[in-house]
Amino acid sequence: MAVTGLPLEGVRVVEMTHMVMGPTCGMILAQLGAEVIKVEPLVGDKTRSLGGMGTSFFPLFNRGKRSVVLDLAKAEDRETMHRLLATADVFLENFRDGQLDKQGLGTEELRRRHPHLIVAGHKGFLSGPYEHRPALDEVVQMMSGLAAMTGTKEKPQRVGSSANDIMGGMFGVISILAALYQKRGGKKEGTDIRIGLFENCLFLVAQHMVEYEMTGNKPRSMPEREHAWPIYDIFDTAGGNRIFIGVVTEGHWQSFCREFGMQEFLDDPALRSTTDRIMARGRIIPRAAEEIRHWDVKELSAKLDALNICFSPINRPEDLFDDPHVLRPGGLVNNVNADGAPFRVPALPIEWNGANLGEGLKVAPLGADTAAVCAELDNQETPTAKAAGRRA
């Protein structure tokens, strides 16, 4: 069932983006109630035809949007684009600097013709020496040190999803919401927003940068790091499955040792503090692994859950379609691809007045809304006119 009364109802967003970062921004805005009109070239967004790991890109990040096809090489379609922008509150783009100028959509032209418009440009870099460069999620993970922290300097490893692209889209949403809030407070002029994929990744590694800044110690990568707790590891279980267990409080340590027959650790005066136990991981971990190896992962999970100890089986993405929490009502939402095929996707990770968002979204076939949107333009009020009507 669709959720009503969403906060961005009445907000119109025109989107000219591709790949992941820009489309993520538009997808979230759509789920928050905005009308998002995706303007595509004649051949469509190039991610419509991706296969392999890119198969999910277009349907996942373009659900809930209208599709309009315009050929911006033609003067009449460029004028249609400007008429559409005149009715919009927000314009999303993720092209290299200067590319939209060739289509009459450069910053100066947009400010001249649409001074009210919030323009959010999703770029590889913020302003500076690298602003001219294109970027990819993998590129900025290597540049920022995230890949070296996830793997090692000798064998860097990117995060196993388009994490930066998705998070960059989220920062786009945050910025746009802030600009809309200013508008609600009476600001008439639009806002120029620039979101940087590299700086987004820099934000992720800031904890390691600040650690070095404060201590002078070079942060160690995740596989090489010094543990902050005595048990924070992956263990083998009976049946060949594996499980992660994190024993992170004094109460957890007491109950874990007691329940799994390691009373000798509780009686050992050399293990009184957490620091003592971290220093003794060399003997604690093999002993814990010996006990855990006797447990079936299902029974072990139930035991750890009852003890309120953090744990997780080592899942793969496909395993989540059998997870009881993912399968709770509203955890997965049912959407429809452009070809009419249904697919399930995790709901937006918030609840709005107790409801999950994203149920029933559809992926528009290429150009499905072109005629309807063009027909609406003659009667569509501009944001300036709407604001005047509200003040009256």
Q: Which residues are catalytic, by number?
A: 165
DSSP assignment of 149-180 equals HHS-SSS----SS-HHHHHHHHHHHHHHHHHH
Residues ≥6 apart with Cβ < 8 Å to 374: 68, 80
6 SS3 class = coil
Q: Do 63 and 336 contact (CB within 8 A), yes or no?
A: no
Nearest Cα to 169, choosing from 93, 64, 87? 93
Q: For residue 1, what are its two tokens?
A: 């069932």
Whole-number Å distance between alpha carbons of 244 and 233: 6
DSSP E strand boundaries for 197-277: 231-236, 242-247
Whole-number Å distance between alpha carbons of 321 and 210: 38
Whole-number Å distance between alpha carbons of 97 and 232: 45
